[in-house]
Structure 1
């Protein structure tokens, strides 16, 4: 028997799977914007990046937090992202033993792109429609744009709790649930206030001053927000 390790066999199988995929569609334009859109311009791709900014995610978790995407399209986009070097797929060690997807360094460098796109799209939000899905962590990126400094911020919303890593420049940008340990700042606000911040109707500092956001914590981030 050939002396391949399990890791080597897994990599070989993964590469074979990616090689069998059809060639990527291209605009065939010698332009960096066009080349970028070759990779991330398909429907759902950037929203998958948004989800994976939270760190490794199982396929079932991605599907649950991307309401409206079909299983076939999600699987296809993830394979495209693997092939294009934006994401990788790996198996968690026992007792988890599940496969997860995570962004590569190149994939994580799409954060400023998503932030710029989100800021540009603020005016399109308007009031939430009855048909609009919402997840608490979807407010992570607008809040991240509103925060200055560095540290861990815990956010408590009607829809659930999540936490942000502000200004660290590495690792997951946000995660579900409370901060593991003591946060540098904790924000408590209702969904309406968070929506107003996301739309750009009110700044986070103004919302704190008016009492619409409660800030606790002894970190520099908390003190900066209370003194703004």
Structure 2
């Protein structure tokens, strides 16, 4: 299928030529969390048809936003992962998340939700809170599951995230979805949320690994 274009000599129009189609930016959102198989993408993009997803992935590969890589044996699957150009869309998605925050009032009965969908708006807040401390990897546990964020002490904008808990987190934050939404969109700070008891934080040094030592 030929590329559709606005045929305008404008940076915004050129960007929308590549990412303006329905589902494209949500596929980027999923792949910002790491390599994903087709079945994983389809599971975490409720509402997309298999034909539409396959078409968008081909378009994004053609446009240099992602690549497809075959996993070595014994795995018999391919994974999709973003190129550096695709990763460059993170600030755009973060800005869109901030802009769309006022629309997150009551969750509608038809709304799907995944824990890692809150990672992008939350990353800047975590980077700010832990900027001066030793914490680099943070687990966030919500009602729907968990994700983790890896912070960069030298570049707050270079934080990254992945679905599921980290193997060795420096800190674990537990909260409900409503609290996460409010935190991610600066309705209160992480410090305020911890002080109010809306968020629970634990560190590895807080855990007793040897019951006999108690």
TM range (shorter): 0.7 to 0.9
Pick the aligned partner of 1:91 from 60, 70, 85: 70
Q: Is the 8 A contact 1:122 1:200 kept in 2?
A: no
Within 5 Å, give how 1:62-81 maps onto structure 2.
62-81=41-60
| Cα RMSD (Å) | 2.0
Partner of 2:144: 159
Write out per-residue CA displacement over residues 144-197 of structure 1, whole angstroms, 9 at most, x where no aligned residue.
12112371111111111211112376999222222112x122101112211222
Alignment match, 1:184: 170
Matched, 1:123 2:102: yes
1:134 aligns with 2:113: yes
User: Does residue 1:173 correspond to 2:137, yes or no?
Assistant: no
Asked whether the 8 Å contact 1:189–1:213 carries over to 2, the reply is yes
**Match in the other structure for 2:200:** 214
Q: SS of the counterpart of 1:147?
A: helix
Moved over 4 A (4+): 168-172
TM-score for both structures, normalised by structure 1: 0.80
TM-score scaled by length of structure 2:
0.85
Matched residue pairs, number? 197
8 Å contact kept, 2:24–2:56: yes
The unaligned stretches of length 5 or more in structure 1 are 1-21, 220-228
